[in-house]
Structure 1
Amino acid sequence: MNEIIRRRRSVFPAQYNEKNVSKELINMLLENANWAPTHKLTQPWRFKVVEGEAKDRLGAFLSDTYTDITSDEDFSAFKYNKIINNCKSASAIIAICMQRDPKERVPEWEEVASTAMAVQNMWLTCTANDIGCYWSSPKLINYMGDFFDFEEGERCLGFFYLGYYDEDEKNTSKREPIASKVQWIE
């Protein structure tokens, strides 16, 4: 398990090849996500799996929204094209959503944290199965209610891009020693 945790990293859509991630593997990711910790069993995570032609529709929606909300001076053709290409390159895109507990029995940050732990379970499952993945939280997530049908209290926290990749890359991720981040109090 230590090796999987330390091997986990972002693999970006531009690195993905044409091989599709099977529905069976996507279901396994989602089932593992479902076992994340959840205070008061609110189970706030919600997922919307976007595949096939729906990826193109999502790419068009995101790029059009980017154009609409970006001033001419801040507009980047590179970013516009990257939005479209990310959607085309991914085998599947999972919209990471959170359903706020209607009774608000726990603070909202705990439900966001619980959803993030569900995503971590998915990420570790991807790593164990040599599937590339990347969690993106662009400003555009604030507009996803115009694309998806959300329940009352549900919102998008980002996109989880999935795809196989060819490169046998070394994990170049670096961490400062844990001792520099821990204070022992006796």
Structure 2
Amino acid sequence: MVMFTEQLTQIIRSRRSTKPRLFNGQKIKDEIIWKILENANWAPNHGLTQPWRYKVFADSGLQKLANFQADLYQKLTPSDKFQPEKCDRLKSNVLKSSHVIVICMQRQTTEKIPEIEEVEAVACSVQNMALTAAAYEICSFWGSGGITYTEELKSFLGLAEKDKCLGYLYLGYSDNPCTKSHRQPIKDKVEWFD
């Protein structure tokens, strides 16, 4: 048990976000993606609502997603604020990835569980994916910029009115993955009451 605990601690502390622009285009086997998704499915969630929904883009689906993102950015952005490099990045980040998992939250029909708890459950699910990817030495990056919170993206993804898109999990391999990070001491962030 001690060895497992040490391995888990190592995975948690060594996991890093690597931006998709650093990915090398090498493909991840689909069976590994399914293992990542299966571990996502075991996240804690209030009332067992299991609100996470994932849209996986791979192969030609990546081009479809890249084109949609870039086209929508161009359509929604006023000409005086349009940044060609941002438009290019919206395409290239997707196309450098092996797989892009679009992170969605399906709102409980009865709305008995507060929405924030559903969002938190999805976040736990994404952490499970990021840790599983790290265990397989796969780079990941949870991005939520660009067009993430638009109604147009919800429509593209086929989400219901009260569902939400919470970003993209880009997955890939990198020749130069991010390896360094730091945290302030946990004691600076904790109040302990006896």
Same fold flag (TM > 0.5): yes
Question: What displacement does 1:152 show?
Answer: 5.2
Q: Of the candidates 125, 132, 137, which is equivalent to residue 125 of structure 1? A: 132
Match of 1:179 in 2: 187
Give me the CA root mean square deviation.
Answer: 1.3
Match of 1:154 in 2: 163
Match of 1:9 in 2: 16
Question: What displacement does 1:168 show?
Answer: 5.8
Unaligned runs of 5+ in 1: none
**Counterpart amino acid of 2:72?**
T
Cα gap change, 1:165 to 1:154, in 2 (>3 Å): same
1:18 aligns to what SS in structure 2? Answer: coil
Residues 116-145 of structure 1: CA distance to partner in whole angstroms, max 9, x if unpaired? 000000000011100011111124122312
Query: Within 2, Cα distance between the matches of 1:80 and 1:151?
Result: 27
Query: Within 1, Cα distance between the matches of 2:184 and 2:40?
Result: 28
**Counterpart amino acid of 1:85?**
S
Residues 24-46 of structure 1: CA distance to partner in whole angstroms, max 9, x if unpaired? 00000100000000100000000
Match of 2:50 in 1: 43
- Aligned positions, number: 185
Tell me, yes or no, if structure 1 residue 164 matches structure 2 residue 173: yes
Is the Cα–Cα contact under 8 Å of residues 104 and 166 in structure 2 kept in the other structure? yes
Match of 1:53 in 2: 60
Is the Cα–Cα contact under 8 Å of residues 40 and 126 in structure 2 kept in the other structure? yes
TM-score, scaled to structure 1: 0.95
Match of 1:85 in 2: 92
**Counterpart amino acid of 2:68?**
F
1:147 aligns to what SS in structure 2? Answer: helix
**Counterpart amino acid of 1:86?**
N
Is the Cα–Cα contact under 8 Å of residues 40 and 105 in structure 1 kept in the other structure? no
Deviates more, 1:113-122 or 1:55-64: 55-64
Deviates more, 1:146-155 or 1:99-108: 146-155
Is the Cα–Cα contact under 8 Å of residues 66 and 90 in structure 2 kept in the other structure? yes
Is the Cα–Cα contact under 8 Å of residues 139 and 177 in structure 2 kept in the other structure? no
Tell me, yes or no, if structure 1 residue 109 matches structure 2 residue 116: yes
Question: What displacement does 1:106 show?
Answer: 0.9
Is the Cα–Cα contact under 8 Å of residues 131 and 164 in structure 1 kept in the other structure? yes
**Counterpart amino acid of 1:164?**
Y
Cα gap change, 1:139 to 1:79, in 2 (>3 Å): closer
